[in-house]
Structure 1
Amino acid sequence: MNLLFRKSPRRRGGQTPDEVKENDVLSANLDINLKNLQSIFDTSFDIVFHKFVMTNDIKATLIYIDGAVNTQVLEEHVLTPLLSRKEPMQQSIADSIQEKLHIAKKQEIKTIQACVENILIGNCVLLIDTVEKAYALGLMKWEHRPIEEPAGENVVRGPREGFIESLPINLSLIRRKIKTPLLKTESMTIGKYTNTNIAITYIKGLAEEGLLEEVRNRLNQIDLDSVLESGYIEELIEDNPYSPFPQIINTERPDVVASHLLEGRVAVLVDGTPFVLIVPVSFFSLLQSSEDYYQRFLISTAIRILRFIFMFISLLFPSLYIAVVTYHQEMIPTNLLISIAAARESVPFPAFIEALIMEIAFEALREAGVRLPKQIGSAVSIVGALVIGQAAVQAGLVSAPMVIVVATTGIASFMVPYTSQGTALRMLRFPMMFLASTLGLLGIMLGIISIIIHLCSLRSFGVPYLSPIAPLKGKELKDSIIRAPWWKMNTRPHLTGNYNKYRQAGGQKPEPNKN
């Protein structure tokens, strides 16, 4: 895919602006073309109209965005050859341009709309008098930050590179992982005013055609003024936007995207953001980390099991404490019950209000730690939690056991690899606490049953959210709660089709050396 020159991009998000008419073709009169373009870019001081006279006294103009074009290359490889008097044009202007301009990426365009589009994406447009076409020169040089390790997806073992805000660079990072011509990319433009480039990426022969068509249809239905981040797209294409559970993975890691593409999934890249969307997903894939596949399978399995345990702790621990302390004291050992009663003797609030105060305070400290500068964010969140927790206990507002419960719950929530999934569990923690305070353990069971029913009803682009547990697919349990060794995972996960079932040859189990 060529992101620099798009012959007919699929534009979504409203009609073309009134000033740019699709049928307006370029005139052979340079002044008329400049008048049309100057009226479109009226009062835009960053749009440069560089007029000059070529060999044989032919008038020409270069149009580009100041700061978006490599001016050094423009000077050396465009202006210098065109202004040279040593080599006058002995042939047609079109042939002379092709001969003089040693630019790797150049394209002939014939409409005002194409000129505007190329200027806005960072290309330089060359207009020549007496010529009924223009030349789009691929000299874009947008500033971008260097490739760094993603701050929110750190690993002990694995690649340290992450996506940035440049779509072409992000695509190159994926191609660096998957070196095959079967890796396909499709381009479209969404947003009436932002004209944001969107790339659909998949591996031909692994991604099922029905899934691809569904992704295209959902993206084509989007009609927005702007797309500034992939979150706009995610919210508009997911199956159930009212569910707290994410049905699309967003990641900054190229290795995560590559691994999902190799399993037959589809990635959606959005220009201007480092977060790439992956569809379809399941509940279990949102609890898996890329590092699970880089370590030995025994260690990865143990960590996954620990992750599931702490997921339940994050969701249910405060609720269980409230239910047991309020309604089911007989379940607590006598010594522990006496200790809890002594700690709560001076607390004026019931267990539910006590937990609610501490949970809200913890969430506020967590959010403050994220928003503050990195140098002081972690210090404020940790010191604030210690100071507020100790002060609240001494003031008799909350009990020490409740501080322990909330702190353990907070630590457990950090075990979830993806922030979106962890946020869903944090949101559900509050209704579970309310059910526990009103109905005890019965309320907790009703809440769990409601969550399971909701999860069973969810789909992610046609794939059951609880797959491979519901419906049960025994062969795919090798990579769900546990992580089987690589020589056992010969087949790809079953998504919406049976494309390219096997991903490796069988019989690769290493044999011990008997010598």
Structure 2
Amino acid sequence: MFRDLINKLKLRDRENMDKNKEHVQLNSHNLKKILGGSEDVIFRCIYVGENVPVQLIFIDGLIDNSLISNFILKPLEEQMEFKRAKTEAEIIKGLDKGTVYYSSQKKQRDISEVLDDVLSGSIALVFDASHIAFTFEVKGFEKRSITEPSGENIIKGAKDAFVETLRVNTATIRRKIKSPNLRIEKITLGEQTSTSVGIIYIDNLTNRNMVSEVKKRLKNIEVDGVLTTAFVEEYIIDKKHTVFPQVLYTERPDKFCSNIIEGRIGLVIDGISLGLIVPAVFLQFLQAPEDYSQNFIISSIIRFLRFILVVVTLYLPGFYVAITSFHHDLIPTELAISIDFSKAGVPFPSFVEIIIMLIAFEVLVEAGLRLPQNIGQAVSIVGAVIVGQAAVSAKLVSPAVVIAVAVTAISSFAIPNQDFSNALRLWRFILVILSSIAGLFGLSMGGLILLYHLCTINILGVPYLSPFVATNGEREEDALFRFPISMQKNRPINLKTTNKKRRG
């Protein structure tokens, strides 16, 4: 009750602040007060026509000085209509008529709109007496050029990647999807950062209810800044208490666009060189760009192999603990003798051995990620060999455990998505603990708990295990195996797209 009352009071205060902001007059004096004494904010008074003062406002470093000189200041100085101007009204009339030929020109009466434009890389011409401003987009800040993807490279495919500039990324998407129905809508998030987020979808294809829900969740985000993807992701996902990713990240525009064409919604955040795709389901995290650049038979075999490796990396350590601790009769005699012989002199049970090696593996992986790229891989590989050999020589673990953990680690590297791989790494520990308590029964119960957990996850109304569940018996041509492209007639069933045919 008290919490609801406090929230209402906060909402009322916020509304009053917004109203006061709207009533602030648009003039250079108020703009100076708001922007403060920052060194990079330039206020300059120029005189147009017969000594009519006009305030010039821009941020040094965000603008292209040549654009200002050639396309804004030069026409104001040379055009006859401006030379004869005696009042602000005449200059404003000339700007309204387009005497300054510039593509990105806005007439503003709201001081907040002027501030947003200036802070985004525009120059403002402010007329104090008329309380009117004209803003011209003259962005010219340094930006990274488009390079090859660093983590999602393929041999047969595009070599471009997203960069940190929103407009460059949206232009790249436009180049790949030349559809008049492609919609790119912008929303600003972050009280302090005012970060632009692009919502991208195809109008006559994507489920409208899904688009409306994503917009609603984004508008409800109230944070100081959006500097990483988590500030957006945690507000748009449905199930907060799970380690499994519900948003797909990619640095490849072609992969991003293929998901948009499927009927999903894309998000591009200014300042972040990644594209976000929702809704993301279990199957997407086991797909790789190579699946669609190779022969469908080869791609199907490799994809099926990934599913097998997910089972191996998830269950192998727990299975080893279960059979060596509780179910000796399931092990062939010669293998049992070999395992017992290798454990001679090791003071720890299998459960402790597995936990030690899994933790050592996680430490090596984390160290490899934090070290410089040119030595990180070498340290991970050499460290694993040295640590494993030293542990066996010191009789801390048996060779069989080292082999089991090595197979588990190599299997996890075959998973294309790092977020999904991290979730499996955590559940691997849970299954090992359950196996050490109740053997194969504990392992089976852990598997059922995991399956139940995955079944409870929904993203924007789409089941996480789609298309393996809730398809009403309809066949999916791109699931466990990749069918030939000529046979992929329908878009994903559970996305409930407006246009269900791929070429319809």
Question: More helix by proportion, 1 or 2?
Answer: 2
Secondary structure of the equivalent of 2:282? coil
Structure-2 separation of matches of 1:406 and 1:21: 63
Amino acid in structure 2 at the alignment position of 1:381:
S
Kept in 2, the 8 Å contact 1:314–1:409? The answer is: yes
Q: How many matched pairs? A: 488
Structure 2 runs not aligned, ≥5 long: 1-10
Kept in 1, the 8 Å contact 2:317–2:432? The answer is: yes
Identical residues among aligned pairs (%): 39
Amino acid in structure 2 at the alignment position of 1:312:
V
1:94 and 2:92 correspond:
yes
Instruction: Name 1:58's counterpart in structure 2.
Output: 52
Shift in Å at residue 96 of structure 1?
3.3
Structure-1 separation of matches of 2:73 and 2:345: 82
Kept in 2, the 8 Å contact 1:69–1:140? The answer is: yes
| Structure-to-structure mapping, 1:105-254, within 5 angstroms | 105-128=104-127, 130-254=129-253
1:74 and 2:68 correspond:
yes
Instruction: Name 1:329's counterpart in structure 2.
Output: 328
Instruction: Name 1:438's counterpart in structure 2.
Output: 437
Secondary structure of the equivalent of 1:52? strand
- C-alpha change, 1:283 and 1:85, in structure 2 (3 Å) is closer
Instruction: Name 2:3's counterpart in structure 1.
Output: none
- C-alpha change, 1:54 and 1:294, in structure 2 (3 Å) is same
Cα-Cα RMSD: 2.2
Q: For 1:287-320, what per-residue CA distance to the aligned partner results, in whole angstroms no more than 9, with x for missing partners?
A: 1112211211101100101100111111111111
Structure-1 separation of matches of 2:343 and 2:42: 72
1:40 and 2:34 correspond:
yes
Kept in 1, the 8 Å contact 2:471–2:493? The answer is: no
Kept in 1, the 8 Å contact 2:48–2:82? The answer is: no
Q: Which has the larger displacement, 432-441 or 495-504?
A: 495-504
Structure-2 separation of matches of 1:341 and 1:76: 83
Kept in 1, the 8 Å contact 2:466–2:494? The answer is: no
Q: For 1:477-501, what per-residue CA distance to the aligned partner results, in whole angstroms no more than 9, with x for missing partners?
A: 3211000111111111112425212
TM-score by length of 1: 0.90
Shift in Å at residue 145 of structure 1?
1.3
Amino acid in structure 2 at the alignment position of 1:479:
D
Kept in 1, the 8 Å contact 2:288–2:416? The answer is: yes
Structure-1 separation of matches of 2:15 and 2:376: 44
1:504 and 2:496 correspond:
no
Instruction: Name 2:6's counterpart in structure 1.
Output: none
Structure 1 runs not aligned, ≥5 long: 1-11, 28-32, 506-515
Kept in 1, the 8 Å contact 2:490–2:500? The answer is: yes
Shift in Å at residue 18 of structure 1?
6.2
Structure-1 separation of matches of 2:265 and 2:80: 54
- C-alpha change, 1:170 and 1:16, in structure 2 (3 Å) is farther
Q: For 1:123-145, what per-residue CA distance to the aligned partner results, in whole angstroms no more than 9, with x for missing partners?
A: 11112354431111110123221
Amino acid in structure 1 at the alignment position of 2:37:
T
Q: Which has the larger displacement, 263-272 or 329-338?
A: 329-338
Kept in 2, the 8 Å contact 1:69–1:139? The answer is: yes
Instruction: Name 1:469's counterpart in structure 2.
Output: 468
Instruction: Name 1:3's counterpart in structure 2.
Output: none
TM-score by length of 2: 0.92
1:263 and 2:257 correspond:
no
Structure-2 separation of matches of 1:217 and 1:20: 23
Instruction: Name 2:486's counterpart in structure 1.
Output: 487
Instruction: Name 1:5's counterpart in structure 2.
Output: none
Shift in Å at residue 388 of structure 1?
1.4
Kept in 2, the 8 Å contact 1:74–1:139? The answer is: yes
Q: For 1:240-292, what per-residue CA distance to the aligned partner results, in whole angstroms no more than 9, with x for missing partners?
A: 01112112212111111111111111112211112222112221122111221
